[in-house]
Structure 1
Amino acid sequence: MNKVLAIVGPTAVGKTQLSIEIAKRFNAEIISGDSMQVYRGLDIGTAKIMPEEMDGVRHHLIDIRNVQDSFTVQDFKSSAEKLIIEITNRNKVPLIVGGTGFYLQALLEDLELGGNTENREQVLAIRKTLDEKTDEELFQMLRKVDQKSANRIDQHNRRRMIRAIEVYELNGIKFSEQNSRKPPYDSLIIGLNTNRLNLYARINQRVDLMLQNGLLREAQWLFDQDEVPQATKGIGYREWESYFKGERSLEQVVELIKKDSRHYAKRQLTWFRNKMDVQWFDILQNESDQLKINQKIESWLNQKNELER
């Protein structure tokens, strides 16, 4: 069973810098687990690591799509699965870094998502039918096929309800029962967090820095595309639509981005705490946590070496 290391946590908590240090120390290659950093041209609003910051560490799944293209959780899962094999075969450690919780869960728990090329037409037909239904109709459908998922998913979260119904119709497997499947990897998930005041202050500072670095110009470029990309729905970009329409001032948009980013960080933490087995550390407040992380990873890797002897 291949080893997979992951570093997760809310935005602005220090994942990128730690990932570089960990990758160099433990001979790893980094797989981005961020749903927005796959897009070329979206550098500032996604806090994308730049080539000069990679410090010689190989990165994957960054700048692999144009903004007009889609990149689904199924795309991530299939790409990451191939990369894990390739990286492992190079005798290196696959290190996934990012804050898109569902991406990581789908990979590490091998969730059946649908969308394989063999049944693509079937998937599209199912989605078209479900897209035409109201939230209430979707909820009632979900209750019939998977009551547990219906209890867990917000009735207004169309995307999640459609996903759960789609999985059942494609595979006959209840979305709520997929966690009982045997994990495909021996994984260790390191989570970064810090106290809320510190985290929110860092988020606000990051947004201010993004503005200084040209976030407005980047957002304008995105919205000026011939076809409005799906990427405009991402935090840091979607808030600008009202500004471009003259409905909000620059100051109001900046405050909205900060607010949305703080709320997203809260949702990220809730997801990782409720959905995944994460070991948490605060490297911003506790200097000793960096050493603890290194020791934890070293012990986990040594377990592999002992098994292979």
Structure 2
Amino acid sequence: MSAMRKIAAVVGSSGIGKSKLAVELCKALSGQVINADALQVYKGLDIITNKMPLNEREGVKHHLMDFLETEQEYKVTSFLKDASQKIESISEEKQLPVVVGGTNYYIQSLLWNNTTIGSNDSENLLPDSIDDEFPEFDALETSEIYDRLLKVDPVMANKWHPSDRRKILRSLRIFHQTGKPQSEIIKSQLDHFETHGLEPRYKALVFWIYSDPEKLNPRLDDRVDQMIDTGLFDEIKDLRNHVVHGSVKMPKGFELEKYQRGLWQAIGYKEFDPYFVALEQGNTDPAELEKIKVECTERMKAATRRYAKSQIKWIKNKLVPTALNSKNNQVIVYCLDAGDLDTWDQNVREKAVEIAKLFQMDLPLPEPTSLSEMASTMLKQTKPALDTQTKILTWNKHTCETCKTDKGEPLVLNGDQEWEQHKKGRHHRKYLKHLRVEEMRKAYFESKKKTQAISE
């Protein structure tokens, strides 16, 4: 049996310096970068997708970047196939593959086998074309495809809201593609996990670059301002023009799922929609346009901060615990302190390069928690958070008849935790109070009517 391939991976939130460290590692260890950012795979649009400028790559080869057309979607199954091939070819060249990007689900799925829903091994991954299979379903009403799913996979049908067309369609297509209900595929996968544990694909060295949010958030805000100064609006305007004039074919179902798929998820495109709508509608009032622009800018900054927070949460609650609890200690995570930019070289670059060289030479590595007090805190042994598969099979669906969706339908909550949070939420409590007041008001007027009727 051949030895496991070695790879390095760099993870962390937006604006933390992942690409910079990846380049430094490649320079020091003769490596090549493999992009693991779901948006940087698209051609052009360098600003909105935060691609590292060519001059900053210092001649280091970057793979899986700048190759996909705007209207296409790039899914995790394609990433796993493409990244695995690149790792093989780079390793054959006796160089170190360095995987870097902000799409943590891509990286986690690459590090371990069996982390993609519906697969027990990499050869059985559902094809990317699954969403395009059985086009006859597209002509059916959502209620009809939901009824069909109820017949072939009632477990999954019970998990989805009857109007959630995309999820219903995917579950139905998985059944027709594989001949098995999606719920059975997921259960089989979970049983495999419990018996065999997570199986690392590679011997991996993972560098998690971290900064306290109080120090990181101002940098993220500054980066948004810099993106605007360097041409963000030109990219958004160009993209919108392509869509308006039809030169970009929108993904199927785009109007129903606007901003939720492919490139359209990029932070900035949707946040500045009100500003560009105002321009396209002929608004020429400078003061009003500036006000809308400022509001949209703040919206983009807030979205960027939220995204960075969610990236950190994923790494802390999923990636790190998975590494600490997986077998054979094949995936080792180091947390590097990037809180102070003045000491970035000493605390991030130098430490990472030193550890990576030991890794390459198969020499003993330092204990990850020994690097700093922060590392000791962030790398505490915990159990991995429930994965998507487990959540799907264990959550109970709750319907709040009080609160309604934008379509006027009862609000559906997936899972006990989500239900409890909803009941404690401000909107739910405020609406219940409103209903009580309305009931009291109606009771008062009914009583008044009866009193008047008796007196007459």
Aligned to 1:172, which of 158, 167, 185?
A: 185
Root-mean-square deviation over aligned CA pairs: 3.8
Q: d(CA) in 1 for partners of 2:6 and 2:225?
A: 38
Aligned counterpart in structure 2 of residue 289 of structure 1, from 343, 347, 372: 347
- Partner in structure 2 of residue 49 of structure 1: 52
Return the match for 2:40 from 18, 37, 41: 37
Q: Distance in 1 between matches of 2:51 and 2:106?
A: 17
Task: Quote how far apart the aligned CAs of 1:265 are.
Answer: 0.2
> Relative to structure 2, which stretch is displaced further, 194-203 or 170-179?
170-179
**Which amino acid counterpart does residue 260 of structure 1 have in structure 2?**
A
Within the candidate set 285, 292, 295, 1:249 is matched to 292
Instruction: Provide the rounded CA distance (Å) in 2 between the counterparts of 1:266 and 1:234.
Output: 16
Q: Which residue of 1 aligns with 2:361?
A: 302
Judged with a 3 Å threshold, the aligned counterparts in structure 2 of structure 1 residues 73 and 218 are, in CA distance, closer, same or farther, namely same
Paired residues of 1:219 and 1:237 also in contact (CA < 8 A): yes
Rounded to whole Å, the distance in 2 between the matches of 1:39 and 1:160 is 25
TM-score by length of 2: 0.57
- The equivalent position to 1:115 in structure 2, one of 126, 150, 163, is 126
Identity %: 28
1:9 to 12, 31, 38: 12
**Letter of the aligned partner of 2:263 in structure 1?**
A
Decide whether the 8 Å contact of 2:130 with 2:170 is kept in 1.
no
Aligned counterparts of 1:206 and 1:213: Cα–Cα separation in 2: 10
In structure 1, the partner of 2:68 is 65
Distance in 1, Cα, partners of 2:268 & 2:228 = 10
Bigger mean CA offset, 275-284 vs 54-63: 275-284
CA distance in 1, matches of 2:314, 2:305: 14
Using the TM superposition, give the Cα deviation of residue 112 of structure 1 relative to its aligned residue in structure 2, in angstroms. 3.7
SS in 2 for 1:190: strand
TM-score scaled by length of structure 1? 0.81
d(CA) in 2 for partners of 1:184, 1:161: 32
Deviations 1:232-254 (CA, angstroms, capped at 9, x unpaired): 22212221222222298111111
Change (3 A) 1:173 1:292: same
Give the C-alpha shift of residue 124 in structure 1: 3.1
Partner SS state of residue 276, structure 1: helix
Q: AA paired with 1:279?
A: Y
- Deviation, structure 1 residue 294: 2.2
What is the identity, as a one-letter code, of the residue corresponding to 1:215?
L
Structure-1 separation of matches of 2:116 and 2:81: 11
1:83 is aligned with what amino acid? K
Displacement of 1:159: 7.7
| Equivalent residue letter for 1:298 | K
Q: Residue 249 of structure 1 aligns to a residue in which SS?
A: helix
**2:112 and 2:201 in contact (8 A); partners too:** yes
Partner of 2:302, secondary structure, is helix
Corresponding letter in the other structure for 2:104: G
Give yes or no for contact 1:115–1:123 (8 Å, CA) kept in 2: no
Deviations 1:238-297 (A, max 9, x none): 212222222981111111110000000000001111111342111342554233222322
Structure 2 CA distance for partners of 1:201 and 1:186, relative to 1, 3 Å: same
What is residue 275 of structure 1 aligned with on the other side? 318
Letter in 2 for 1:26: L
**Which residue of the other structure, out of 268, 273, 286, is the alignment partner of 1:236?**
268
CA drift at 1:299:
2.3
2:204 counterpart SS class: strand
CA distance in 2, matches of 1:3, 1:213: 38
Distance 2:86 2:54 in 1: 19
Aligned length: 297
Point out the more displaced range, 203-212 or 15-24.
15-24
Q: Which runs of 5+ in 2 are unaligned?
A: 118-124, 252-261, 280-290, 321-332, 365-456
User: Residue 238 of structure 2 aligns with which residue?
Assistant: 221
Shift in CA distance, 18/233, structure 1 to aligned 2, threshold 3 Å:
same
Taking the TM superposition and a 5 Å limit, the aligned residue runs for 1:84-123 are 84-110=87-113, 111-113=115-117, 114-116=125-127, 120=129
Give the match for residue 193 of structure 1. Answer: 210
For residues 267 and 121 of structure 1, do their structure 2 counterparts lie closer, same or farther at Cα, with a shift above 3 Å needed? closer
Aligned partners of 1:28 and 1:94 also within 8 Å: yes
**Could you tell me which residue of structure 2 aligns to residue 25 of structure 1?**
28
Q: What's the CA shift string for 1:60-101, capped at 9, x where partnerless?
A: 011011111111111111110100000000000110011101
Unaligned runs of 5+ in 1: none
